[in-house]
Copies of this chain bind each other. A is one copy, B any other.
Amino acid sequence: MKTLFERTQGLTDIPFHYCPGCTHGIIHRIIGEVLEELHLLENTVGVTGVGCAGFAEQYINVDFQGSAHGRAPAVATGIKRAHPELVVFTYQGDGDMVSIGLAEAVHAAARGEKITAFLVNNANYGMTGGQMAPTTLIGQKTATSPYGRQSEQSGFPLDLPVLISNLPGAAYVATVTVDTPQNVFKAKRAVRQAFKTQMDGLGFSLVQFLSTCPTNWGLTPVESIQWMQDNMFPVFRIGELKQPQ
């Protein structure tokens, strides 16, 4: 009997507490798998932001520090500068990284900090009950944009990878999706590339995942994937925006 697919050592045994169908789980898994495949489980420190994503520390099977909301890139900087031999990554939501933590993220990129940042963009603040994020789409209704986000009041969705991809310190920048098995494989390749970029000492790496939040979108998990494809894909630039030369 051969096993074609089983749970990676890169994840702990603790069941995810995420809502049914929340794609945070897929992203956790592929990060865990890549860490295992690159033999990094004993050599890595993860840093969580605050948000649903903040529980990653329970699930991904490496040393972890729980940062404050938005500050994971600074915490990761502290760890990496103290231990340049470690691989250090952050796992942050879009509210966490693009709203309150924007300065820390952009400055880490500008400094060319040799860390990897994973940004899970579900177009809202999941944890706190579905408020507007900087990534919320125009017209999207959330708990704090009850009439739909209006650019006149709240501006335009912010695509962080696009924003930072021209900074010389940013070595690898990609936006991936987890809507189909094929795209999950692509996403996993991006995760691997991001870690490799760090291991090669080339600078800052960022992978943005487009992800679902069925609970706060008020859709079923399967509908959510569809909604993401229909509404988020056109707004965020998908692909490898920057690769190390």
Binding site for B on A (CB under 8 A): 99-100, 102-103, 106-107, 110-113, 134, 151-152, 154-156, 158, 162-163, 166-169
Query: Which of B110, B152, B162, B169 contacts A166 (CB under 8 A)?
Result: B162
Distance in angstroms from A164 CB to nearest chain B CB is: 8
Task: State how many copies of this chain the complex holds.
Answer: 2
Contact call B102/A107, Cβ cutoff below 8 A: yes
A158 to B108, CA, bound (A): 12
Q: Can you report 11 residue pairs joining A to B where beta carbons are below 8 Å apart?
A: A103-B103, A110-B134, A110-B155, A112-B151, A112-B155, A112-B156, A113-B155, A151-B168, A156-B167, A156-B169, A163-B163
Distance in angstroms from A57 CB to nearest chain B CB is: 25
A152 to B106, CA, bound (A): 16
Distance in angstroms from A157 CB to nearest chain B CB is: 9
Contact call A158/B110, Cβ cutoff below 8 A: yes
A168 to B106, CA, bound (A): 18
Contact call A111/B155, Cβ cutoff below 8 A: yes
A103 to B112, CA, bound (A): 18
Given contacts A107-B134, A155-B168, 5 further A-B contacts (CB under 8 A): A102-B106, A151-B168, A156-B167, A156-B168, A162-B166
Residues of B within 8 A of A134 (CB): 107, 110
A106 to B158, CA, bound (A): 10
Distance in angstroms from A101 CB to nearest chain B CB is: 8
